[in-house]
Amino acid sequence: MSPTDGMPRETLRVAIVGHVDHGKSTLVGRLFHDTGSLPEGRLEAIQETCRRRGMPFEWGFLTDALQGERNQGVTIDAAHIWFKSPLRDYVIIDAPGHKEFLRNMITGAAQADAALLLIDAAEGVQEQSRRHGYLLHLLGITQVILVINKMDRVDYDRTRFAEIERDYCAYLSELGVVPRYVVPISAREGDNIAARSDNMAWFEGPTILEALDRFEPPPPPPDLPLRFSIQDIYKFDDRRILAGRIEVGILRPGDLLLFSPSNKTARVATIESWNAESPLEAHAGESVGITLDDQLFVERGEMASHVDRPPIESNVFRARLFWLAREPMERLRPYKMKLNAAEAEVRLQSIERVIDASSLATTAGDRIEQNAVAEVVLRSPTMLGLDEYSVSPRTGRFVIVDDYRIVGGGVIDMEGYPDQRALITVKSTNITAVRHGVGADERWRRNNHRGGVLWFTGLSGSGKSTLAQATEHALFQRGYQAYVLDGDNVRGGLNANLGFSPEDRAENIRRVGEAAALFADAGIIVLTAFISPYRADRERARDASDRVVSKETFREVHIKADLAVCESRDPKGLYVRARKGEIPDFTGISAPYEAPEEADLVIDTSDQTVETCVDQIVSYIDESFSYTQ
């Protein structure tokens, strides 16, 4: 059913969720009837169906369209049905409540702008009720009406209503979710659906219909940054047409587009529409084709945006994830992620916490079991164009696929991780490589050692600077050309304009990596002492040495000490300040540290002396960087 009369009006998508048999489908059917939204003859058809089956009349048959649902008395799939109030149009999404159909429930609720969350007044709060509440939180749905249904079964008891309201709202408050309204109803009898109930004169709040009309519509898609998801490329006569769907925003001829993650740019020459004149503009929700003023090689899965408002580009991101498969999700195993039209391999890098949706208790672990919710870090071997869910809900969701089955899904969060686009974008042009008058072999022969970079990484307080300086002194005594780069001697000059945001941290390491590579090319052993928390940044530093000098000149050295040991040392009092919230984005406390998975050298400083650690490092350098003529 859909509205066909009158001019297009504002539309709100509302999911109805709750435990099985708590009355979701009945509420939908009653809502349609009481607002006069039923098509002519539909009520009579349902009554005749019930009569033939020898069953009592069921409002839920309005939405339980599948034969299997009628036979079993449960909603299996998410039904989408239109109805309207005098204010606006609604799409009601009746999501299944049974535990076995959580995948369908999530699919339905993920499309919603608001939600009705039902609880049976007689049965009270169930485990599934809590799980559904958490899933609404996971999906970012903040406009929620808590509906206490079947009040007729408890004689419209005000005390029972208050008891459920208190218990369930206490649970939701721990998630940071506050229902906009809590409404007692009887869906079967029509109490407080579209009209106030004489049976509950004690309730002074709105009816369901009044509460829905008080919700705010979603932001108009044109107000959001353009996201044009490329689904295919067609060669048509002499044109190369990029076909796809506009997820949000507006697209016009002449727009300068940036394609992510390839970072290519071109202007829109034309917007193509099948068997019609080229439109002047295309809007969110439309599937169109475009031609460009430059015949770029663009692949399926790329996301086109305006140059000034692009998605984030990264190969690592945080996610709030719900796992559906019977086999647990395990660390480092490859999975396929579908994000808009893109497909990419991802691996579970780390599990920050697994959450019991019923009790909100958190546990650690290296796997995520079926129906569990977890906060995780996912990594891809390739760059991805990403939107945070909080910024762009339409493009900030993803699903995980394994063996052609949807096994999980979640929303994207970049907290603590940088946008890497600026770090990989080359803007310089007309550059010619410098040819030195002195070759690398000549420098190595003079120094009696090869140049190289030993990249010390570890938490604050692990001993990086102490060991770098002590090693520099020991190497100097042995005749090595050595030099230390650390925060104190680069942030005062070379990187004086950088702060400590994730993006500035990443740029700080990019510059240091390039400088260290030049030192190594000059034949010097460079010892860098930087937390360098992001694995991608350390890989870029390695790539710089490989490019400027040669392979095998960069060695990653993990100065290892756990957080408790580092915090007990706290030489500059930084951990104390970070715990007080005085230092934002502090690595290990409020910002991530990605420890090396396969460091070239590991130095554990937890229970070794400085001298012992230095001896290990110097021995490694003697073995790795000696030069024989």
Q: Whose CA is closest to 208, among 96, 85, 121?
A: 85
> What residues contact 301, with CB distance under 8 A and at least 6 apart?
229, 230, 340, 341, 342, 343, 344
Catalytic amino acids?
Answer: 532
The single-letter DSSP state of residue 591 is B
The single-letter DSSP state of residue 215 is S
As beta bridge partners, residue 313 has: 385
Cα separation, 65 vs 106, whole angstroms: 19
The single-letter DSSP state of residue 396 is S
Phi then psi for residue 225, to 5 deg, are -60, 145
Cα separation, 534 vs 13, whole angstroms: 39
Judge if the upstream peptide bond of residue 502 is cis by omega within 30 degrees of 0: no
The Cα-based distances of 324 to 15, 19, 100, 138, 399 in angstroms read: 20, 18, 10, 14, 11
Q: What is the SS3 assignment for 155?
A: coil
Strands 303-306 and 227-236 turn out to be antiparallel
**Would you say 553 and 513 are in contact if contact means Cβ atoms under 8 Å apart?**
no
**CA angle, 494 then 497 then 502, to 5°:** 105
Token look-up 């390039």 returns 514
**Would you say 172 and 142 are in contact if contact means Cβ atoms under 8 Å apart?**
no
**Would you say 88 and 11 are in contact if contact means Cβ atoms under 8 Å apart?**
yes
